[in-house]
């Protein structure tokens, strides 16, 4: 209870030294902004590349190819793939991207056979604006992922240009699949004819199998089926395919984790420095407090709480700012037609606040222990 009653004193100490507290909070804010941004990138990579127990999708791609522009497979492979035991359905896709290199603003067109696509994926897609019938009836119509539509400011009825294609926005969809959030689904023939005559040629096949345990056997059988063909295939689980294509991005994000640890070290140093300076300047105040009956343990607790307050204020501002920027910007790292979103949610904000709280307590322990060990007479002499 004494600690609670003494909280106004701690707040007064933080407010009284405005310049020192302000600079400390500003430094913590910047460090936690960077740390939270790195954690959001890490979370996006994990969600995009780590397979779950319920995954049942394979991607059949041209062997030794990466960029969609170089992966050409005959569309008539479809019938042979569908006859493989364990295959539930297969959808041919023609993929065209506005930029095959790593970028934050890429438009990915995916040409699909519309009726087959709706039969296979329709229940997992939620139309939030526009008309499916409009998409069905127009050859140049596109269904846009929600993230892409908001990032480009597109709404149903508008037209937009990207990757050499002019498309009509028929609807905007929402999906839990990360790869659906930054794409434009159009008619297969519409994308095949964009730029050059490629009817009968697709980029990949998305294959759904009956059971997750059949992923590897089915993948091996598909690749063996086309091993001696002019266009051999390489088949991967969907998330393994994303990890393979985005290997450079994943390596970059892995390096960024060290930046995140450096940010935490900076927060610890900033809070500790501020607390040490504060304790040194208030030696006589601590002596007066002990004279008034404050125990050494209570004085130490107040010092630790001061560090906690500074860390939570700066950390909260930095983490909240990173969360707001990620959500408003709707950023995603796109590479070779695949998308790795930067995932920022309230759980990330909570984790950032928790980390700051721990760091604030740790930063205050050493100066708090030192202050609690001083005798009253020693404090007055030091002052």
Helices (H), 62-214: 77-82, 114-121, 132-137, 146-152, 188-192
Contacts of 366 (CB under 8 A, 6+ apart): 272, 276
| Residue 220: predicted pLDDT | 92
| 3 state DSSP class of 325 | helix
| Residue 135: predicted pLDDT | 92
Distance CA 217, CA 322 (A): 43
The answer to whether 186 and 140 have CB atoms below 8 angstroms apart is yes
Largest CA distance in the chain: 92
Overall residue count recorded for the chain in this entry: 383
Distance CA 72, CA 59 (A): 14
* Exposure string for 118-133, b = 16+ CB within 10 A, e = fewer: bebbeeebebebbebe
Helices (H), the chain: 2-5, 7-16, 18-49, 77-82, 114-121, 132-137, 146-152, 188-192, 215-225, 238-245, 247-281, 283-291, 296-329, 346-373, 376-382
Q: CA 108 from chain center: how many Å?
A: 19
Between β-strands 73-74 and 201-202, what pairing exists: parallel, antiparallel or unpaired? antiparallel
| Token pair in block for residue 328 | 């408003």
Distance CA 184, CA 186 (A): 6
| 3 state DSSP class of 204 | strand
Which stretches of the chain drop beneath a pLDDT of 50? 380, 382
Distance CA 110, CA 249 (A): 22
| Token pair in block for residue 99 | 């930029």
The answer to whether 222 and 60 have CB atoms below 8 angstroms apart is yes
Contacts of 307 (CB under 8 A, 6+ apart): 271, 272, 274, 275, 360, 361, 363, 364
Contacts of 331 (CB under 8 A, 6+ apart): 104, 341, 342
Domain range list for the chain: 2-48+248-382, 64-231
| Residue 93: predicted pLDDT | 92
| Residue 283: predicted pLDDT | 58
């Amino acid at each position: 209870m004494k600690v609670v009653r003494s909280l106004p004193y701690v707040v007064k100490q933080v407010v009284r030294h405005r310049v020192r507290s302000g600079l400390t909070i500003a430094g913590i804010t910047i460090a936690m902004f960077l740390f939270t941004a790195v954690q959001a990138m890490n979370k996006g990579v994990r969600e995009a590349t780590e397979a779950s127990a319920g995954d049942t999708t394979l991607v059949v791609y041209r062997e030794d190819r990466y960029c969609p522009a170089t992966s050409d497979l005959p569309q008539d492979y479809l019938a042979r793939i569908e006859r493989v035991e364990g295959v539930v359905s297969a959808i041919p896709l023609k993929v065209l991207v506005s930029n095959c290199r790593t970028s934050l603003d890429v438009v990915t067109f995916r040409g699909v056979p519309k009726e087959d696509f709706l039969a296979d994926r329709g229940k997992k897609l939620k139309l939030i604006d526009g008309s499916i019938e409009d998409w069905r009836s127009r050859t140049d119509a596109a269904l846009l992922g929600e993230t892409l539509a908001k990032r480009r400011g597109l709404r149903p009825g508008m037209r937009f240009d990207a990757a050499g294609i002019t498309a009509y926005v028929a609807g905007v969809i929402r999906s839990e699949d990360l790869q659906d959030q930054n794409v434009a689904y159009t008619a297969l023939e519409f994308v095949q004819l964009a730029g050059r005559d490629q009817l009968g040629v697709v980029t990949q096949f998305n294959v759904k199998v009956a059971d997750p345990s059949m992923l590897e056997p089915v993948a091996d059988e598909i690749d063996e089926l086309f091993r001696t063909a002019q266009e051999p295939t390489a088949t991967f689980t969907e998330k393994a395919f994303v990890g393979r294509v985005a290997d450079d991005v994943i390596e970059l994000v892995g390096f960024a984790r060290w930046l995140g640890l450096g940010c935490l070290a900076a927060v610890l140093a900033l809070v500790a420095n501020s607390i040490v300076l504060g304790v040194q300047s208030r030696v006589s105040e601590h002596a007066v407090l002990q004279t008034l009956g404050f125990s050494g343990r209570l004085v130490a607790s107040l010092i630790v709480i001061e560090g906690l307050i500074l860390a939570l204020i700066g950390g909260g501002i930095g983490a909240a700012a990173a969360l707001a920027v990620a959500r408003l910007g709707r950023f995603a790292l796109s590479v070779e037609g695949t998308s790795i979103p930067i995932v920022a949610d309230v759980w990330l904000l909570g984790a950032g606040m928790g980390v700051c709280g721990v760091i604030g307590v740790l930063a205050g322990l050493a100066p708090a222990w030192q202050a609690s060990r001083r005798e009253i007479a020693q404090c007055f002499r030091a002052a």
